[in-house]
Structure 1
Amino acid sequence: MKTTIDIPDSLYKKAKIRAVERGLTLKDIVLTSLERELDAPPAGSAPPVARWAQRKLLPEFARLEAAGAFTARPGDRDITALISDDRDGR
């Protein structure tokens, strides 16, 4: 389908330069930009939540975590410090 739209000169120049830089036509740039805009989530909507973030802990693991089984104890070292020490030793 063909249509006519008014594009400000400055925007037209930017789009034309981008098309030339990428070896595309102005039509390709406009269509790609329009598709990207229409595929984007509506403004103000919350970003999608990753599937792994929606998972629930197994009851036994949740109970142990609540009891503090996985908290750091005095003298425990952070994993990044352990990795740094290992690399320094090589």
Structure 2
Amino acid sequence: MSKTDKPVSFEEAMEQLETIVAQLESGDAPLETSIELFQEGMRLSQLCGSKLEQAERKIEQLLETEQGVVKKPFAELEANEEKGESF
């Protein structure tokens, strides 16, 4: 959640995080402001990571096999694709 407790979408959080990174990289902010920006950036980073984990858990592919339809976790499908294996 943001400081106002309004739900933030993944895209909004990433946009805010990119803005914070740009501000920190510029080196123009005073130390106290930089620390606050860093803390907010860490919070947003954790939020984005959490949202990605939730999405990954939701993404399951249904594969037809000889035994019928089988649910496979998204991460397993990615690993198989990296190895060059097909469904």
TM-score by length of 2: 0.27
- Structure with higher Rg: it is 1
Return the structure number with greater strand share. 2
Using CA pairs under 8 Å that are at least 6 residues apart, name the structure with larger relative contact order, 1 or 2. Answer: 2
